[in-house]
Structure 1
Amino acid sequence: MSDPRPELALALLAHGSPDPDWLTPVEQIAERLRVLAPALAIALATLEHGPALGDVVARLGEAGVRRVVVVPVFLSGGGRHLKRDVPELVARVQRDHASLEIALAGDALASDPAVLDALAAAALRRVALSSPA
């Protein structure tokens, strides 16, 4: 019988906020991912005011995960966080968890053309919703 624990995890890394409601959309993304990719372990981490990436990776490793792909849940890759802070954080977590493979999966999610299209469509729906009947 094979081990049902996933060896690969996707860690959504968001900025974080002291307001717990801020994390709701990221949690919703995680729930959608669990449906779309049930073979993956899905975890949430934040840069501040939430679960730290190092703690999340440690828990994943304890659960049998061997590889963690970190996906930044940011709109823009143009700021300090994605240019410097996130790569440094991922490198530090990799050093602290040398038995695991930790990879940073590209830039901000909004650098993906499909995400940009979805955001543009959402903006247009709001225009339609605000138009007089």
Structure 2
Amino acid sequence: MNDTAILLVGHGSRNREGNTEILQFAAQWRDRHPTWRIETCFIEHADVLLDEGLDRAAAGARRVRVIPFILNAAGHVKMELPAAIEAARARHPTVDFGCVRHLGMGREILTVLQGQLDRLMKALDVPDPRTTGVILLGRGSSDAGANGELAKMARWLFEDNDFELVDLAFTGVTWPRLESVVQRQVRLGMTQIAVVPVYLFSGVLMDRIQAQLARLRGQYPQVAFALGSHFGFDPGIFALLDAKVGGHELPEGALLECDGCKYRQAAEAEHLHDHSHTATSHHHGHDHDHPHHDHAPA
């Protein structure tokens, strides 16, 4: 590992606390592996963005292994990250750049979500699961595949538990939204509702979720709500990254499994990402419901 740099790529948040938490995570990960060289950067809304992060990682390294520290792959992971790595290869022709898969929605993340749900049930004094609704709350994307991955998690939680209702909601971009799913579950007789956010770290949308839950508690005083938290520091996340580093030594030239996919080619043809997230840190004037972007940290 002495000649290999690991580059942890976060999404980046307009809430600086979210970015700080990722830096803290990286520091804790370094403490676990003091011989590893671990660098960090962000796709947007941060001081160190992709180009600078890749250059820092390449300095003095023979290999750079990029880890998208993101739960779901949508536009940023499928288009901007591969493009930035291709440009870095041109700037550093002697360095072998490779990129492992993003965190994804596999059994490791399911275990983390199940732990969140178990803690929420204890907070509700372990009520009858048949009268307790579960809402898995993601940030939403214009990429149907990313939304489908979250739907898979909801189904797996349903299969592994005894809840009558395990539903899916999103904070933006797509539907249904949290308020409408809560309304449906109340109509179906749920007397407790556990909301499990699928977020790695704090950010603008986690703040929004807190405000939404406060309003919902006022609207439905007869319902007991329990809200989970972001889970980026869960031991399961460290273990998942350890497995990626230890088990995914990519051959030279390897990139993401979706590099060159139809989604990326079509979006590039339509110039959906003609603004540069990799050059300077800046703020967008639009909200997170923009139809073509997967903004806000996962």
The TM tier, using the shorter chain, reads 0.7 to 0.9
Q: 1:25 to 1:110 in 2, by over 3 A?
A: farther
What corresponds to 2:76 in structure 1?
A: 81
What corresponds to 2:63 in structure 1?
A: 67
Aligned-CA RMSD value: 2.2
What corresponds to 1:117 in structure 2?
A: 111
CA distance in structure 1 between the partners assigned to 2:44 and 2:109 by the alignment: 24
Q: Percent identity?
A: 24
CA distance in structure 2 between the partners assigned to 1:123 and 1:95 by the alignment: 46
Q: Does 1:24 align with 2:5?
A: no
Q: CA deviation at 1:57?
A: 2.6
CA distance in structure 2 between the partners assigned to 1:85 and 1:59 by the alignment: 18
CA distance in structure 1 between the partners assigned to 2:5 and 2:113 by the alignment: 26
Give the letter for the 1:101 counterpart: D
SS in 2 for 1:16: coil
CA distance in structure 1 between the partners assigned to 2:104 and 2:115 by the alignment: 13
Query: Which has the greater radius of gyration?
Result: 2
SS in 1 for 2:28: helix
Give the letter for the 2:27 counterpart: E
Structure-to-structure mapping, 1:1-133, within 5 angstroms:
6-50=2-46, 51-62=48-59, 64-77=60-73, 79-106=74-101, 108-129=102-123, 131-132=124-125
Preserved contact between residue 110 and residue 116 of structure 1 (Cα < 8 Å)? no
Preserved contact between residue 5 and residue 58 of structure 2 (Cα < 8 Å)? no
Give the letter for the 1:18 counterpart: R
Q: CA deviation at 1:87?
A: 1.7
CA distance in structure 1 between the partners assigned to 2:120 and 2:90 by the alignment: 45
CA distance in structure 1 between the partners assigned to 2:16 and 2:91 by the alignment: 28
- Which structure dedicates a bigger proportion of its chain to helix? 1
**TM-score of the two chains, using structure 2 as the length reference:** 0.38
Instruction: Flag structure 2 segments of 5+ consecutive residues without an equivalent.
Output: 127-298
Runs of 4+ in 1 over 6 A off after TM superposition: none
Preserved contact between residue 66 and residue 98 of structure 2 (Cα < 8 Å)? yes
Question: What does the per-residue CA deviation read over 1:23-50, in whole Å, with 9 as the maximum and x for residues that have no partner?
Answer: 1332233123212222211111111122
Q: CA deviation at 1:83?
A: 2.1
Q: CA deviation at 1:132?
A: 4.7
Give the letter for the 1:12 counterpart: L
Tell me the matched-pair count. Answer: 125
Preserved contact between residue 10 and residue 42 of structure 2 (Cα < 8 Å)? yes
Q: 1:119 to 1:21 in 2, by over 3 A?
A: same
CA distance in structure 1 between the partners assigned to 2:53 and 2:31 by the alignment: 20
